[in-house]
Every structure is written in structure tokens, then in C-alpha cells.
Amino acid sequence: MTMKIQEFEHVNYLWDDHVAGQLDPVERLRYRSNILGADQRITNTGGGNTSSKIKMTDPLSGEEVDVLWVKGSGGDLRTSTRANFASLYMDKFLSLESIYNKAEVKGVKTEIEDSMVDMYRHTTFGLNPAASSIDTPLHGLIPFRHVDHTHPISAIAIAASKDQEQLTQKVFGGEVGWVPWQRPGFDLGLVIRDALKKNPKLKGLIMGQHGLINWADDDKACYELTLSLIESAALYIKQHDKGKKTFGGQKYKSLNEEERNKLLVQLLPKLRGMVSQKNRFIGTVHVTDKVLQFVNSVDAERLAEIGTSCPDHFLRTKIKPLYVDWNPQKDSAESLPEKLEAGLAEYRSDYASYYEACKHPNSPARRDPNPTVILIPGLGLIAWGKNKSESRVTAEFYSLAIEVMRSSEAISEYQGLPRQEAFDIEYWLLEEAKLKRMPPEKEFARNVVVVIGAGSGIGKATAHRIAKEGAHVVCADLSEDAAQATAKELAEMYGVGIGVAGTGISGCGSAIALAVDITKREGIRAMLENVVLAYGGVDNIIITAGIFVPPDKQGYIPDDKWALTYAVNATGPFFVADEAKKIWQAQGLKTSLIIATSANAAVAKQGSFAYDTSKAAANHLVRELAIELSPLVRVNGLAPATVVEGSSMFPRDRVISSLTKYNISFDESESTESLRDKLAEFYAQRTLTKSPVTLADQAEMAYLLSSSKFSKTTGQIITVDGGLHEAFLR
């Protein structure tokens, strides 16, 4: 089955001889993997694995040995680097079969099968720390030099059809065989090897309810074979496409983008609260024409109930999604949350029954019973995960599952994985062990934290501090450029994660930048609505934005500047709290608000009427909001003093005027940083601790006050001022 490159219509042919020619054999495997993973029609994020058997020099004996290089546990074909591949001595790996055969009870799902995974480590070549995956025998036991195992939509469509065996024959002739569904492991490797022994002409196999595996002795040939098999399946599906009759035809119409977003900003916080009663979730809204065609269709309800088929898909999407039969043309917006509430109750009880019916005596405890995928006619797909990356992956997987269903229903009848098999994957003890090995979740994991003023100074330092705690950080600032710079730094430090999904702003990573002027209520509302569309809701808000207009020697500033000072320092935080209140109440999840005030708020002195009194107002706002927003939201104030370092409040002019005011000698030619150090040192000497107050000190307190460590503290102002006895609160 050799196809010419230009004949591929349903896969992207990306092999470049010039690139491949410059690579060593392991890098060629990495290259092949990356270009396979780059096409979602070939495999999903994190799905599939590839291998090459490569001759290498054994560091101990100096002799040439055969080494199996195979994609290891975790990782993803598209983004894999050399470090994601495990390497095993082929002879040692093959010797494991005798250990397996010695077991009294062997076969799929036996104790010996699960214990093989730990044995792979003993066969490691070259001290490679990459852990081998459960799919290793699928590669090691096949007597060809190169193997690709992928999860292509078109191949899974065949594998998830009722008459999958006959379809395999029909589509591929005798070139590709078929093996029934079996949970991956050592035994499946043996099954595949046996199929090949029986029929040495096979170039690959359709793995029932799972995907495709194929092989060749040349790596480029293996790549091209993978593509041509997927292309053949896709062509067959295309010939049978049902067009307008797909999914039984259309039942509902989509809302337009404006109507949809309006409904989503109302709905998402409520929905997030409903699915988060056990664990907080982060949302991704995914709306494509194909998703809409599905959710609006006659068959959506029936097909959703069958669930996803490929085990890789359903580990994220769960056994099935929640489909809500809401008529976007006739039913009211108000009736949607009610329908969702009822649908969720039914879903949770179904999930409990599924667990009870399928559990084994040693099964792990029942997990969160809430759906991770919610389908709403007219609107699209909403996915939930423990973080943005996971919720994007979930959205990606269900949208791939939709394609599988569309294709399967075009050529046959779609069928899901049997419930017990699904359960045995979901609650596999090896999966549970993997979950248990994961580090504990960080303080702000599953949280969306909005930092207003994140473009500079304390806000920027705070954004960095909370990102370290696993927060999804909304960097909001008057200056969009400054906000973007902070968000970019965070994205570079923490990565954007995996998963290709999300519509508009919902396709974001764990940090976003938004412009906001906190003196404008509409602007604040729009900013928060964007946060809701991006992540599904809002948790903590930390407001560090503030303004200091330098007054004259008597402490006066023009009236308009007085008004601006109050608008930013006192009214702004109120607007933010008042706008966020609606979202927080809809969510019903406990959270916190921090307002940065100032030590000046408590110290009456000469020289800055507007700033000091506006900050005093902010202090009292903290107390009143604490009452107003209880019991859902804790509200506390952070009162910094004299943070000179990196502060937008201390431009060169202000530093010079302060140095002059305090009779500190300086030279006009000195750098701003050096002038700031002088002023910081002077301020430090006025404090009880005699230490300069840094941005990191402020960020630490903003973090702590927002965190569960201060969960019993509200309505308080905490000073971080090095110890100014004049600012002691009474």
C-alpha cells in the first residue's frame, strides 16, 4: 500500500529527508514521534507511542547490543524530547517472557501482568531514568525494527464499530489484522505477536475499541505506513459520510456568539459551583462547528449515553458526559441551571451505581462522581479538570470522541467499551499507584486568582508568588502591556501545559493578561466576564493597584487629582468587590479578597492628604466588605509601607523629592536604583526591625492572607512595614 505523498488528504505528511538525515537514530525516533503527534487526526495529546530498535555499544562490554527505544510513561508524541523515551536491552527485555510464563496464573488483568511493569526497569540500558510504560511489550514483542501505535480518529472509528472485524477486512484487505479489545499490558503484546506469527504478511492491526498499531523495518517506511493506513480508513469513512443526516439530523440551532457568551458568563460560575462541591474545577469552553453539530443533533443524547470508547479518551472524559436536553430556541435561560442541577444529580447517582456494580474487593475508593464533560445544545461543550491543562485535554478528547462517533455511525453502529472494562481501566491499581505517587496539590491548585495591579511592583511580585503555589493567575493591570509582560514571564516559567482545545480566551494557559481600569465599573465587569469565559469562574482577588499623586509641600494636589486618588484607592476596590460578588455568590465557593492599603492610612501626618485619607477609607472598606461578603469571602487588607524597590509609586522624581525632604545627600548623576537604595535604607532605619521592606515581603503576606493558612481571619489589616509604631492599629 504505497501512496504518493500528495495523495494524503486526511493526514499531514511532514517527513523531511533533509531534517531526518542529520539526526542520530534516537533523534530520528523523536522526530518521527513529534510529526505524528502534530496531527490530532493521527493521535490525541498524550496518546500513542512509538519505538525503534537500535544497535548501540554497551558501556560495560563494549559490544554492540540491540536496544529498544520506546516512548515512556507520561509525555506526549507531539512534544516529546529524547528524555521521554525509555531504553531497554532487547535481550533482557525478551528474557522477561520466561518470568511471565512461570506464573501459575497469567493472562490479561492478572497479578503477574501488573507486576511486569516494575520489571522493565531492570532491563534499562544506559542508566536512562525514563520510566517504561505499560505499552512497552506492544513494541518489544514485535519482531520489526520500528513500531507506531497511534489513536487515529479514523482507525478508532473502525475499532469502535459494531462489526469492527469485518470493517477492518473491508477497508484494509488482508494487510491489516484485527485483535479484540484487551486492556494493554504484557499479554496484549503476546496476543499481537501471535497474530503476526499466524499471518506474517500483516503490516499492522486494528486494536478493538482502542486504536492502530503497525510496523516496518525502516523508520520512514513505518511513518508512511501509519499515514497511509489512517488515510485509507478516513477515505472509506468519507465515502460513507451521512452529510445532513449525520447524528440523525439536526434538532436544535446554535446560538450566535454574542448570545452564547452572554449565557455562558451567567451560567459558568453557577455550573462551576455545582460540579465543585467535592473538588474545585477549572473549565474550558469548546465550541466548534463539529461540536455544535453533535450537541444540536437528534442522536446526541443516545450517543452521549454510550460514552467514549478509546480508554485514553475516557480516562479524562469519564465514562460518559452529561448531556442536558435544553432547547436553546424555546427554553428560558433560567431553566438551564435547573436542568443542569437535575442532570447532575442523576449523573452522580449513575456513577455511584456504576462503581457499585463494577467494583472488585481491592478496588480503590470511589472518585469524584461529577462529570468532566457537559454538553449543552446551542452552546457547545464545557470541560472540567483540576487545572487548565487538564480541562483543555478533556475538551480535546471529547471533541475527538465526537469525530469517532460521527465516523463510526457513518460506516456502522458506534459502540462503547463494556462498562466493566471501562471500570477496570478507570480503577486500575496501576493507575491508582500513579495517582498516589503524584505530589500533593499545591495551595492554589484548582484556584483562579485575579491580581489587579499585576503589571508592576507588589502586584507583579504577588503574581509570581501565587503562581508558585499552583494558581491560575489573571494578570490584570491598567497597562495591558505590563500585564502581558507578567503573564508571559509566568507562562515561560510554568509552561502552558498540554491539550489542544478551548474557544477564544478559553484556549488559554494558566496565566492570562487583561487590561482593567478599576475606576470604571463596566470595565471591571468585562474583565471578570473574560476570566469566567477563560476558566469558568473566579476565586481569590488581590488588589494591589493604587495611585500616589505627588502633592506640593503643603500636601495639596489639584481637585481632579484628589478625585482620581479616591477613585483608584477607595472606590475602585469597592467596584471590584461589588462586581465579583455576583460571581462569587453564583459559585457558592469559599474564597478571599485582599486589598492593599497603606501604613499611611493609620498615621496622621503632614504632606499627603488625598493618598492617606483614601487609604484610610480603603481600610474601613475592608472591614465593611468583610461583613457584607461573609460567610463566602474573607476580606483582609495588606498595609505596606515604604517599599521603594521596583515600585511604580517611587519614580525618580519622587525619590529625589523624598531624599531632599529628609536631607539625605545624593548626587544627581546617580542611577535611580542607587537613589532608591539610599531612600530604602533611610526608611529601614526608622523601623523597629531596621530592615528594608521588600516586594517579596509584601507578596508573601498577600499570598498568606489569601491562603487557607489564614482561613479564620477576616476584616483585618495586616501591616508589612518593618515595624512602624506610629502605624500600630488601635
Catalytic positions, written as ranges:
611
For 605, counting Cβ atoms within 10 Å of its Cβ (0-12 exposed, 13-18 middle, 19+ buried), the class is exposed
DSSP for 127-153? T--PPPPTTHHHHHTSSSSEEEEE--H
Query: Taking CA 72 as the corner, what is the angle to CA 68 and CA 74, rounded to the nearest 5 degrees?
Result: 170
SS3 128: coil
CA distance linking residue 498 with residue 397, whole number of Å: 12
CA distance linking residue 582 with residue 562, whole number of Å: 30
Helical residues (DSSP H) of 141-249, grouped into ranges: 153-159, 164-172, 186-198, 219-239
How is residue 669 annotated by DSSP? Answer: T
The x, y and z cell numbers of residue 224, run together, are 508512511
CA distance linking residue 468 with residue 464, whole number of Å: 6
CA distance linking residue 372 with residue 395, whole number of Å: 9
| Spatial CA neighbour of 204 closest among 154, 282, 149 | 149
Count other Cβ atoms within 10 Å, centred on residue 142: 22
The x, y and z cell numbers of residue 541, run together, are 482577588
CA distance linking residue 270 with residue 267, whole number of Å: 5
Bond from prior residue into 692 cis (ω within 30 degrees of 0): no
CA distance linking residue 435 with residue 440, whole number of Å: 10
CA distance linking residue 480 with residue 476, whole number of Å: 8
Distance of CA 33 to the CA centre of its chain: 22
CA distance linking residue 674 with residue 656, whole number of Å: 11
Name residue, grid cell 506526549: 76
SS3 87: strand
Q: Which residues contact 311 (CB under 8 A, 6 or more apart)?
A: 183, 184, 209, 210, 417, 422, 425
Q: Which residues contact 558 (CB under 8 A, 6 or more apart)?
A: none
| Spatial CA neighbour of 207 closest among 222, 234, 221, 187 | 187
